[in-house]
Copies of this chain bind each other. A is one copy, B any other.
């Protein structure tokens, strides 16, 4: 069993509830209330799986724990608002770790207008565990789901991919403002942030939208780091399968796609058209003289 099997099982268990507009399986849940809907996401970072305390600082871990959640709100086109933080601290220096962790969280929270409004702090004999739950508000067009891509839609990404392990997975800036600006210039049919890797996350868009996709090998933007990392895996493979770039992948109509390419409306971001959604299932990598099916998999957390 892996995390996706478990999510599928959870979705089977989850009864439809009138208050839950979107339940498990998207970047955020969407809740109905007496006011506008609320976005909620939760992400946990665990020592040894997501970071090693010996190789980084609690401040950087705190920063990442907050930023990955902010990125989930960005992926719905929303604005993050209030965060709740639960922490399991390793005994021995726990107070110091707690304060540095908080500083890292506050730093990125402050940049995005997020208020840390509550939490729970414990120490234990285990490793550092940080869980952030983040609320947000959808954009004026409502939350952007994974499920809205249509055959013929163009697939875009907001930046170069691959090799985030070298540092970007800690230091990335969630694409909140970019997602907001995109909505001013195009009707975004579906969106996701790239945490599991391009192939994996575009696979999620396809699965939820009931589409397949063709990826244009020569148009996928590859980061300089991925080029320098190229080893037994090519730089393109790094761009396709490495996780935690936290760029946005999104679907728009060809008309909107052409306009975005012509306008390039986002400062410091080069929007890249990297594929097209298909009516038939499957993920196909298309080169100048080739078309081969690839597995829509990135990093999968096995249980």
Contact = CB atoms under 8 A, between A and B. Distances in A.
A42 B115 CA distance: 15
- Interface band, chain A: 35 or more
Contact of A36 (B34, B116, B118): B34
Interface in A4-36: 5-7, 9-10, 13-15, 17, 19-20, 23-24, 28-29, 31, 33-36
A95 interface: yes
Contacts of A124: 46-49, 127
Copies of this chain? 2
Contacts of A283: none
A123 interface: yes
Contact of A42 (B1, B43, B106, B118): B118
8 nearest CB pairs, A to B:
A35-B35, A34-B35, A1-B95, A133-B133, A29-B118, A94-B303, A44-B86, A131-B131
25 contacts: A1-B95, A3-B121, A6-B95, A6-B99, A17-B115, A19-B82, A19-B115, A24-B116, A24-B119, A29-B118, A31-B117, A40-B82, A40-B117, A41-B118, A44-B86, A44-B122, A44-B131, A46-B124, A47-B124, A49-B124, A95-B303, A98-B303, A121-B303, A126-B126, A131-B131
